């Protein structure tokens, strides 16, 4: 079965986010009332798997081994059947 996997990768809260700071400063200078910004990545994958549990395991492994840096990033996986 095919699944659409959405992987959201974000920096851990303890890690400084210079891109987020730059975006926040730009938005503030434009008059938007922004207190803080964190920048991350959104990755969408189409995967073939036997069932949803197998797809979850497969994408979880991808997140841990390739799509994120576990030292400084967290990630979340969401699956949708296609």
Residue 20: predicted pLDDT? 97
Token pair in block for residue 5 = 């996997």
Residue 77: predicted pLDDT? 98
Token pair in block for residue 2 = 């095919």
Residue 65: predicted pLDDT? 97
Show the domain range for 67.
2-81
Q: Quick check: 42 and 4 in contact, CB under 8 A? A: no
CATH code: domain of residue 38: 3.30.1280.10
Helices (H), 1-69: 18-29, 52-62
Beta-strand pair 2-11/73-81? antiparallel
For every one of its 82 residues, what pLDDT tens digit does the chain have, with 9 covering 90 and above?
999 999 999 999 999 999 999 999 999 999 999 999 999 999 999 999 999 999 999 999 999 999 999 999 999 999 999 9
Q: What is the 3-state secondary structure (H, E, C) of 51-70?
A: CHHHHHHHHHHHHHHHHCCC
């Amino acid at each position: 079965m095919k699944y659409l996997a959405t992987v959201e990768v974000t920096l851990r809260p303890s890690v400084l986010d210079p891109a987020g700071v730059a975006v926040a400063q730009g938005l503030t200078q434009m008059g938007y009332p922004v207190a803080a910004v964190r920048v991350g990545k959104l990755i969408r994958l189409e995967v073939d798997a036997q069932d949803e549990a197998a797809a979850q395991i497969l994408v979880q492994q991808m997140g841990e081994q390739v799509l994120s840096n576990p030292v400084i990033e967290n990630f979340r996986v969401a699956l949708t059947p296609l």
